[in-house]
Structure 1
Amino acid sequence: MSLFAEQKAQNNQADLVTHTLKNDLRNIRLDFNQRLTFYNYGLKGLHGLISTIGLESFDYQTMMNYAENRDFQEEFPGVRGIGFIQRVEQNQLTEFISAQRQMRPDSQFDLKQLNAHNDSLFIIRYIEPEDNNKSAVGLDIGSESMRRNAAIAAASNNELQITAPITLVQADKKEKQGFLILLPLYDTITIPTEPEERLEHTIGWIYAPILIDEVLNSNTDFPRDVDIQISDVTATGGQVFYQQQSESSALSSFAYSERVSVFGRVWELTLSAQPSYVNRVKTTKNFHTFFQYLIISVLIALIFLSAHLALLRRKLMKDYAQELLIANEKTLKIANEQLEDVVAQRTAEIHKANALQNAILTNANYSVIATDTKGLITLFNPAAERLLGYRAKDLIGKESPALFHVEEQIHERARALSQELQCEFENSMEVFFAKSDRGLEDKSNWTYVNKSGQNIPVMLNLTALRNESNDITGYLGIAYDLTEQIEKESALAEAKEAAEKANLAKSEFLANMSHEIRTPLNGIFGTLQLLRDATTKAKQSKLIELAEKSTKTLNRLVNDILDFSKFEAGKLDLNICPVDLPMLINEIELESNPSAQQKKLALNVNIDLKNAVWMTDELRLKQILLNVLSNAIKFTHEGEVNLTISEQDRNGISFIVEDTGIGMNEVSLKRLFQRFEQADKSITRRYGGTGLGMSITHSLVHLMNGTISVASKENTGTRISISLPLVAIEAPKTITPEPHKLPVEIDERTILIAEDNDINQVILNSMLEDRYKTIHTVENGQLALEFATTRQVDVILMDIQMPIMDGIEACKRIKSLQPNLPIIATTANVFEEDIALYKAAGFDACIAKPFEQQQLFEVIHNTLNK
């Protein structure tokens, strides 16, 4: 009867909880719809502003002024901001983005798409507050199907529409679930009646990103002891996009679901009751009815039991004495059996604990040593035996730990502890136990001395062993070998020192490079100033010669830096071709002679070759020999510099450069090929240079599979030997063509110069005006495209890096219209990958800045006469 009554009461309470859940869910749904309708008022505020002033007058500043007078998150809880999405056609995209960049103070506005498409773009133009929604600006919501469909539905039906659930990334980088509310904006006051016409007149949408959890949390009447799950079931299958569920509610059997229509979407809301909710709603506690009925049943049973006991009392008293005797004997027997079981159990536990302790001590990697209160060793584990070389049986009960401690270290420890603890020690063993006796942590570094006399640094942790009465029964020491750790710390310190030295070398290189670059720049700038006031042609020629020399010096510095960058990136390749080696050596001698003659040095070149033509990279071989020869001449004040070239048996060619210069010591020799280094820091101040020359030479030699070695002695001279595995070939029979002479008369053809730099415009015009009759100049690729498509042009000199439209894009567009029009790239970027890019874009030729006038004439002439 009690169980039946309780079951009926539980069913009534369950119905009450379910009914309450249903009412709470209906209230939540009504509040949610009211809030979304209320958010519509916020959207209509901005909608009215744009409709009033017109889209043409609605700019960035107007949006800022409007946002400053509104606090969207305070007025509309759950709204992360309010913004405007503009409909932009594909052919209007470039103009639209350019206009947005001009409006913004930071000139930053870029198109972002989730998927590429060719339809109209729905671009987020503004969103305030922008700081929390920066990543949304410029996003084309039309590039994602769910958002695009929602926007089109809102425009076609002229009604508020929400998107399918999406993930919104906040300023704190956290992802939260939400959706977008979209309100269409038309370019006409009278809204068309047909959906197709409405869509045609749609110019954008007022929108707001909504976070579902903030909408729910802003409802103060929302019960906090229930969990809610929201699914979008508009499409087949459904999608759970919000779920707040505790572990307790997951086990609850009380839940209620309901499907509702929300501005174009169908949602399913499910409430699950937490135990606290169930307890709050129920009017009676579990088993309350059961216990009420049970108590009544027990009372009735007790009455019958009392009557029955009265009748049996006499009989029980007679049998009591005999039963008591039997019970005592039985109890004593059970007690004995239980005691035997407990003793056996405790014995097994002791054996198990001892086995575990022995296993730990035997297999521990740490040295474990225990002593009694007098300091005699009572435990010496295998790790201690391996560390110290002693056997446990030789020490236990016979020796103290002082056996393998350094005596002087014990005395130092005693003096330190005397000051720290304000006490004196009668014997050395007290030093080990002083802190443990006082309940203090004792962890410090010691030095063990093993049986072989070797010192071992350890970290020793000492602890007092106490019994149940808290009396000290002994001491335990656990030692960790620090040898490997100290070695690692030492290696780390060395690595840190090496890194600091490398960083210092780079800093010194940058300072030196600044000096080296400024020196030729000063020469160029100074000669130009003097040239302005020069009165005689002789003086002008001298100044021009100095300016050219400084320009070549600066160009060599830039080439060294570029070579170094290529080596760093692993992109320097060799161009192997047949080379007339005696002719190349003659060129190197001619280039090096002026420097040697200026210092009154003898430059001797000795060539001992059976073959003249060899397979190699002519440019890089010349660079290697010029680097070594220029260094030899630079660091030699008197005497001679010798270059010897000879064939090696099956090993290619040997190049030896010897000088009678200042030489180097052993320390300088070791640093010679290091990057950012010179043999001696004083060399930088005295002779100049970047410190890259010999490093590049060393890298080039190894790139060519060769070897380089240096022998030097201070104040005596230096000998550099280079061995390269070159392969000789039979000299090809060629007829040397006569040098082509360019015509000197005025060329009637038209040249178009596309260059954004004013100075380069003047230089190009000045170089060409005496040779070509008609020259035109434009400032960017867009103007070059317009000029070439509307007027007669015979050749275009096109800079690569220009504003509005760069040279590569301009070349592609011009070639698509006039494929036979010659275009020459004039640029400072002439890496191999750059030249390949220019060729792929359609350029007919390329000339590197800075260039010589005659070189410019030849490139133009050759291009026009292909």
Structure 2
Amino acid sequence: MPAQRTPDHPPSAGTRELSEAGRRSALLKAGALQNAILNSANFSIIATDEKGVIQIFNVGAEHMLGYRADEVIDQVSPSDLHDPMEVTARAVVLSTEQGTQIAPGFEALAFKASRGIEDIYELTYIRKDGSRFPAIVSITALRDDAAGLIGYLLIGTDNSARKLVEQQLNEAVAAAEKANLAKSDFLSSMSHELRTPLNAILGFAQLVESGTPALTPPQKRSIDQILKAGWYLLDLINEILDLALIESGKLSLSVEPVSLQEVLMECRSMVESQARQRSIGMAFPRLPAQSYVKADRTRLKQVLINLLFNAIKYNRPSGHVSVECAEPTPGTLRISVRDTGAGLTSEQVSQLFQPFNRLGQEGGKEEGTGIGLVVTQRLVALMGGEIGADSTQGVGSVFWVEMALASAPGLALEITAEPPRLEVADGAAMKTVLYVEDNPANLELVEQIIARRTNLRLLGAADASLGIEFARVYRPEVILMDINLPGMSGLDAMKVLRGDPDTAHIPIIALSANAVPRDIERGLEAGFFNYITKPIKVGQLMDAIDAALVISVQRIAGESPQDNT
């Protein structure tokens, strides 16, 4: 009778675990694994004892570092193969992070690994011949169940190729930035240089136009052409200068609450004459007096005027331009400029903000550069806003700008009760404070603050040129100066005042929304007596004015003023 066959059964889970453990044990004991590690030429594998003395130094380490294994085993630590200054720097950083003193040696390399944290660091290896190369090293603690910490394993790889690529990339970026900066500086310099002869051309042409005897019709046409070309060239220079300043990062903005109603009124007065010449009707919205947006006042005007001029220039005869305001989302105000021109195709709309792209208008009767909208877009972005356009052929276009809404400019510290007015003795001399500020709301705010002091009076100037003239005529005791002013900046105005013997002694306090620490440092380094940031703190402003008054009196009396810093 044939023997009965025992049916096959799959191994149990326990049996499978034992077999897998057996395979792992066999793998770990196999000489093949040890040989692979010790003979790997692509990675340096170094093992140390618990004190950090090298015990294993594989073929890859020999190739990378130039030492034979017998030259380092039981003799040196991996820290001896690194740049000692980098090892010391690592020890300092770790000591600061951990709040404990860490020795600048192997302890600095193994500190994290000794605490059970696998560590990867970048340091420079030094070969036997003294040459160096950057390396990435992973260090892990080796532990035994019975003995605990028995050493460390360091696996390193040559990082030269990646560092070379990084260096080449950084050099390429630096070269591109340098070239871009050089281009922008050149454009800026040339723009300024071109203004001088252009000023003479336009100035003398206007004198000839308005002089006597009256021009003959041919002469009048010639002068008109000179003036037309001259003013167009000036617009081109201004646009190139703005673009160069933006690209070089040198354009300084003062983003603060700006009254949109005031700005729109000023823009309307500047474009209405051109609209009348072309029989273009205009409509502006009625806004609440407290409609404020976060913007640089001068640059917001530039943006809106550019959009309005374009709406007039590219409109149909006897067309219409309307300005509309709405809140598309809470906290945001959209200002739209709508025209009744020929409109644009979807392809033209997609190309609107490309430099020097006039969308096929190069041969048209309207002059242009293709820069204006690019400058406008970048100015809006710098002020934290958005710009866009929608257009329908045969109907017209609408260009819109969205800006963040803002509260009316006020005091940083709310005043719950009206502070008492400080009275002065009869016959005491009034002191004059000159405030150079282009934002009427800010000027009014400071005027109300100064009005609480009966010994002070305030003069206001809307731009730097007028401020310089007022300073020379009225000789104020103190000058408050905004930094970002139309035309000449507050910094440049201060240099002019410092260079004039009649105004050099007057303390000048910067009053600006530029509150970045580096801006404040630059202002003080440039020579401002003090630098006050907006929103204004009444106490801080008045303390600064009082300190400046003391210095002003001392300077006028010929005394040596105390250090105000």
Smaller-chain TM-score range?
0.3 to 0.5
Taking CA–CA contacts closer than 8 Å with sequence separation of 6 or more, which of the two structures ends up with the larger relative contact order?
2
Tell me the TM-score normalized by structure 2.
0.37
Q: Which has the greater radius of gyration?
A: 1
Tell me which protein shows more helix as a share of its residues.
Answer: 1
